[in-house]
Structure 1
Amino acid sequence: MIILSDGARWSAGAVARSLGISPTTLRTWDRRYGLGPRTREEGKHRRYDDIDVARLRRMLELTGQGVAPAAAATMARSGVGPVPDFHDLIGASDRLDAPGLARLTTSLVSALGVVDAWEAVLMPFLVELGRRAEDQGGGIGVEHVATDSILQVLRQVGDPVENGRLPALLAAAPEEQHSLPLVALAAALAERGCASRNLGTRVPPAALLSAVRLLSPHVVVLWAHDREHALRVPLVEVAEVSAVLLGGPGWADLPLPEGARRPHSLREAVDDVFSVSGLSS
């Protein structure tokens, strides 16, 4: 193990050997997550100091615990201490502890931000609850308690002021009852200062078109978990007014209007909204 003294600087090779990772991994973490040396001396090889190595060691600990690399890097860079994880949420949900789930979700979002909290912990947690309910023929009550607790927290994230044309209008397909992905997107956008309006679940075609024509948003985000629900959305008419982002598996293999995008993660959806609306991120 590297033991650093005041002012010590270590090569990438030495750090990689100490941590038991390859130099390629070290370079990837630097390029992708900003976990390289914090100071660089012109004309010299880059050197790591004690704080740099501590951040990398924290990255290893977190990924070893199952935290997604992007979220782990955020925590390592910011020096965030222990935060609730997947197992904490499972335990609270098994006890039907709605207040506990809300507190855990609040801690997660505060520590990691909406996107990393969603992708690293909340989404895997919800997938596991769904799997349990399907395998065990029950657990719907547990799912409802968990979903309601997460919704409660996400709806409290920010309230950006609309300034000019509405950046994003969010809506679920007709008869589509899944609302949590749209609430997560609204929260992630609000966290970055981007206003949106969410029409919620089971939006009738006529109501959707009326809202699109009234608000003329830069982008309309439509969620459909089921193919039959997706088929009922007046996509062509919506695309005549605004850019379209399509979330959920219901759009798979369906013909889509020219220019329509299908983001496959919350992070990608947020980036697409900023890109399409011309906002600076």
Structure 2
Amino acid sequence: MEWSAGAVARMLGISPTTLRTWDRRYGLGPSTRHEGKHRRYNDDDVVRLKRMVELTASGVAPASAAASLTSSGDPDFWAAADELDAARMRRVAVGLIARHGVVHTWDAVLMPFLVELGERVSATASGVEVEHVASLSISDAMRVSGAAAGVPSVLLACAPEEQHSLPLDVLAAALAERGQASRNLGARVPATALVSAVKRLAPEVVFVWAHDRVHADQVPLAELAGTHVLVAGPGWEDVPLSGDVQRVGTLAAAVETILNRI
């Protein structure tokens, strides 16, 4: 099948102007050419554009989303993941971070990789071992990419019983890259432990990650009053927040918000 630009825009629910912008800026244009006629989008073009819409809707910057699509991620990382080669995945990730920075590497390569891998696991009910090894390798890469010196003024924590701590490692690395030290409490931080840590360390910003609503509901937000609190993750999407608690949707937004509050 082949489609005109107008048909593709209607199919994806975006404006023709957005479609033209993505073509001009990122090379996400139609592949099929007919002499004397307008270019047409083929099936592969539409699939790629659908993924672009999904990534940008989830908060990924358009440039990073396009980079992940036009490069198909990093083939070395995928190959290492398929072989469960944790050391190689770590080396590839560290190299990407050194060349492109934490935020771009996460947005353009690592997060799209994890999303696609998760979709494969859901569709085939296999590959969980790849997902686990890859996540650990990415965490290791974030930790070895550098740490900022100085007194930590940012406290990072997962909600009680929340086990998805990789986002904390990524944020810590992104902050360190900008010269900001942080303290990472990791996964499954009990409510009492979080409150105790805040009292003991007196951080300027507290960041709490929750992948599930049931975990987000256990975070003692009222007891953290007086501290800048940022929350992130799918678990917070429908949680009512008071005026002194702010939800951030992307890694870049989290970094900039934290740096602006310190």
State TM-score, norm by structure 1. Answer: 0.68
2:214 aligned with 1:231, yes or no? Answer: no
Q: Aligned partners of 2:89, 2:159: CA distance in 1, in Å?
A: 28
2:242 to 257, 262, 267: 257
Identity of aligned residues (%): 50
| AA matched with 1:220 | V
Residue deviations 1:127-161 (CA, integer Å, cap 9, x gap): 11111111111211101111111111101122222
2:106 aligned with 1:121, yes or no? Answer: no
Give 1:258-273 correspondences, 5 Å limit: 258-273=243-258
Q: Aligned partners of 2:146, 2:94: CA distance in 1, in Å?
A: 13
1:106 to 88, 91, 94: 94
Give 3-state SS (helix, strand or coil) of 1:102's partner: helix
Match of 1:213 in 2: 199
Q: Aligned partners of 2:61, 2:91: CA distance in 1, in Å?
A: 21
In the TM superposition, residue 69 of structure 1 has moved relative to its aligned partner by 5.2
Give 1:66-105 correspondences, 5 Å limit: 70-71=63-64, 85-105=73-93
**Which sections of structure 1, spanning at least 5 residues, go unmatched?**
1-23, 30-62, 75-82
Match of 1:244 in 2: 229
| AA matched with 2:190 | P
**Which sections of structure 2, spanning at least 5 residues, go unmatched?**
1-19, 26-47, 53-59
| AA matched with 1:187 | A
2:208 aligned with 1:222, yes or no? Answer: yes
Match of 1:55 in 2: none
1:86 and 1:124 in contact (8 A); partners too: no
| AA matched with 1:190 | A
Give 3-state SS (helix, strand or coil) of 1:174's partner: coil
Give 3-state SS (helix, strand or coil) of 1:261's partner: strand
Give 1:113-192 correspondences, 5 Å limit: 113-163=101-151, 166-192=152-178
| AA matched with 1:174 | P
In the TM superposition, residue 106 of structure 1 has moved relative to its aligned partner by 1.2
Give 3-state SS (helix, strand or coil) of 2:157's partner: strand
1:178 and 1:225 in contact (8 A); partners too: yes
Give 3-state SS (helix, strand or coil) of 2:245's partner: coil
Match of 1:204 in 2: 190
Q: Which runs of 4+ in 1 moved over 6 A?
A: none
Q: 1:111 to 1:174 in 2, by over 3 A?
A: same
2:73 and 2:112 in contact (8 A); partners too: no
Give the count of matched residue pairs. 209
Q: 1:117 to 1:249 in 2, by over 3 A?
A: same
In the TM superposition, residue 88 of structure 1 has moved relative to its aligned partner by 2.9
Q: Aligned partners of 2:209, 2:66: CA distance in 1, in Å?
A: 29
> Over aligned residues, Cα RMSD in angstroms?
2.7
1:218 and 1:243 in contact (8 A); partners too: yes
1:209 and 1:237 in contact (8 A); partners too: yes
In the TM superposition, residue 113 of structure 1 has moved relative to its aligned partner by 0.3
Q: 1:68 to 1:104 in 2, by over 3 A?
A: farther
Q: Aligned partners of 2:101, 2:183: CA distance in 1, in Å?
A: 20
| AA matched with 2:131 | E
In the TM superposition, residue 73 of structure 1 has moved relative to its aligned partner by 10
Give 3-state SS (helix, strand or coil) of 1:155's partner: helix
| AA matched with 2:254 | A
Match of 1:274 in 2: 259
2:205 and 2:261 in contact (8 A); partners too: yes
